[in-house]
Structure 1
Amino acid sequence: MKLGASLPAYRSYALEELKEATDNFDASSLIGEGSHGQVYKGKLSDGTFIAIRCLKMRKRYSPQTYTHHIEMISKLRHCHLVSSLGHCFECYQDDSSMSRIFLIFEFVPNGTLRSYISGLPKQRFTWTQRIAAAIGVVKGIQFLHTGIVPGVYSNNLKITDVLLDNNLQVKIRSYYKLPLLAENRGTMGAVLSSPGSRVSSQARVKREDENDVYDIGVILLEIILGRSIMFYNEVSVLKDLLQVSITTDDIARRSIVDHTVHKECSDKSLKTVMEICVRCLSSEPSGRPTVEDVLWTLQFAAQVQDSWSEGTPNHED
């Protein structure tokens, strides 16, 4: 795809290549570990850095079982997604069934968005950079919903899943609700859709779209306030704080914004982002905007901010 043109083509890797890239999966190459398996940082022979997710299979299946899943992963190419570069199957020698699957992704070097929002003051993003990062996140989610068939919804997105590349462009790292990973956690059959469900496919997609919009709202909340949100019970309190500030004057609005950016943002731009954030966090899913609405609103906020920064007659304060 054009958006992933700068990346090497998706391909199958030999296990020996991965061993060489990670010094035989040495502990010094391990950069993460969790319920989805281990993640290693590697360096290919051509100098390309990669991230390798190692999944141990709890049941024995043939490589053909995963062909469809791997094909879906290979399609996840977008400038705001951590793209997959390939895979490797490791099989048992006695019966050729699966023992491990390795998923190879591009390596994204500059940490998470959170460190640029609520980290060290000198490293924190400007208001303009924050809106651009939010737009990137929404574009990534929009691609997951509409760029492949079937779309991938309810991605359980967190700000710590948003990484920054060499150009400080955001890239979403997600497990994409893929059946491959669900099976690895011992829930075979937990696929993207649920055949036989009484809920219609269209209603299910709309509900799951609304889940992703809520998660976008939590990220926007952190972007505005410049503080880490560690617990979901904080969200409703902070949302109410934003709701009240929207109806007051610009001084009150700026008083709750991250102090490193509150003087540099246009009040109209700030208010616009606050309003869409509150809508995303609506307790009633049906009251949340669509991903397209969120994207349009954030792009408008960016335009307003640019005009204000340039000192054009259109600025409002």
Structure 2
Amino acid sequence: MKLGAVGLPAYRTFSLEEIEEATNNFHTSAFMGEGSHGQMYRGRLKDGSIVAVRCLKIKKSRSTHNFMHHIELISKLRHRHLVSALGHCFECYLDDSSVSRIFLVFEYIPNGTLRSWISEGHSRPRLTWTQRIAAAIGVAKGIQFLHTGIVPGVYSNNLKITDILLDQNLVAKISSYYLPLITDDMGKVGRGISRSGSKDPVLNARVKQEEKIDVYDFGVILLEIILGRQLISRNEVGILKDRLQGCIAADEAARRSMVDPAVHKACLDQSLRTMMEICVRCLLKDPADRPSVEDVLWNLQFAAQVQDAWCGDSQSSDGSPVSASQSRILTFR
């Protein structure tokens, strides 16, 4: 396992009393919302740290032992660009000790979604072009960790821009990624966690394409980063992808006409074109034609490098020096 997120305490087991105290006994003022993955509460631990607590109601009768493999997986999913779990708590029925609820305690990210930082209609300032590239690099690094940072890798994460949060330093973190524990998908193979040895050729083919599913979803996020506005439907994504493709082959004026007006004057054309090329490749219909996460990441870093050089900055957008010899550019066709 690669090194976890910097500055996070060790993953641990919480008592129910700790969870209840942190959330003021699940008071309505602590309630953050409810979705398909359970209820979310804001809590404060005894040490003063703020956390997000996800409450999962268990439908099937299972002992705590049945969940431990998935808890071990969750404990390893720690990375600078993931909203990482800090621990868990089991609540069990008294009669048979089966699990009634699981509480997952996550780090709390207070700075809102990536969409709220790039779209109109929000009170906060919008991200600069350099900051947008940095956010895209962060998301790509988070996806790369989900795929390769642990074994088995975590795929088909159904990534959305509203699931990308920015912390106090505007570091992008993926807040919702595939966990079979959360989705009640624990007994199913072939969705989310790549496994080998299946005799089902259809399933094996799907497993091989799972990385490219996340690449497509990343392409949609990247499209919204470039355009600076909310995308309504997959059909709209396809139309805009084709327009982007046309702009790449056209001139600089055409490319700037597509990018968010809030940043179009501040982005170097080479950086903008690279971002557009990556986006188009990620959105190709045939998964086999989409680039790997590694190639996406290399090209994002190149876009950051040329933008920073143009701005006279010796640092890359993610804060680390990048030399020309370290960059690798895909040949886009």
Q: State how 1:283-298 maps to structure 2 within 5 Å.
A: 283-298=285-300
2:252 & 2:203 partners in 1: Cα distance? 45
Aligned counterpart, 1:229: 231
Q: Which amino acid aligns with 1:279?
A: R
Aligned to 2:156, the other structure's residue is in SS state coil
Task: Note the C-alpha offset of 1:292.
Answer: 0.4
Describe the superposition over 1:78-125 as per-residue Cα deviations: whole angstroms up to 9, x where unpaired. 000000000000000111111000011000000100011113386110
Describe the superposition over 1:219-259 as per-residue Cα deviations: whole angstroms up to 9, x where unpaired. 11001111111211110000011011111111111111101
Aligned counterpart, 2:200: 197
Q: State how 1:67-78 maps to structure 2 within 5 Å.
A: 67-78=68-79
Task: Note the C-alpha offset of 1:188.
Answer: 5.3
Aligned to 2:51, the other structure's residue is in SS state strand
Q: What's the TM-score, normalizing by structure 2?
A: 0.89
Q: State how 1:178-189 maps to structure 2 within 5 Å.
A: 178-183=179-184, 187=185, 189=187
Q: Is 1:142 matched up with 2:115?
A: no
Aligned counterpart, 1:18: 19
8 A contact 2:43–2:52 mirrored in 1: yes
Aligned counterpart, 1:158: 160
Aligned counterpart, 1:280: 282
8 A contact 2:90–2:101 mirrored in 1: yes
Identity level (%) = 65
8 A contact 1:175–1:181 mirrored in 2: no
Aligned counterpart, 1:104: 105
- The gaps in structure 1 that reach 5 residues or longer are none
Task: Note the C-alpha offset of 1:311.
Answer: 8.8
Paired positions, count: 308
- The gaps in structure 2 that reach 5 residues or longer are 315-323, 325-333
Match for residue 308 of structure 1 among 285, 307, 310: 310
8 A contact 2:159–2:177 mirrored in 1: no
1:133 & 1:175 partners in 2: Cα distance? 17
1:272 & 1:3 partners in 2: Cα distance? 30
Describe the superposition over 1:26-77 as per-residue Cα deviations: whole angstroms up to 9, x where unpaired. 1111102012110000000110100000000111110000000000000000
Q: Which amino acid aligns with 1:137?
A: V
Q: Which amino acid aligns with 1:272?
A: T
Q: What's the TM-score, normalizing by structure 1?
A: 0.93
CA-atom RMSD in angstroms: 1.8
Structure 1 consecutive aligned stretches of length 4 or more whose deviation exceeds 4 Å: none
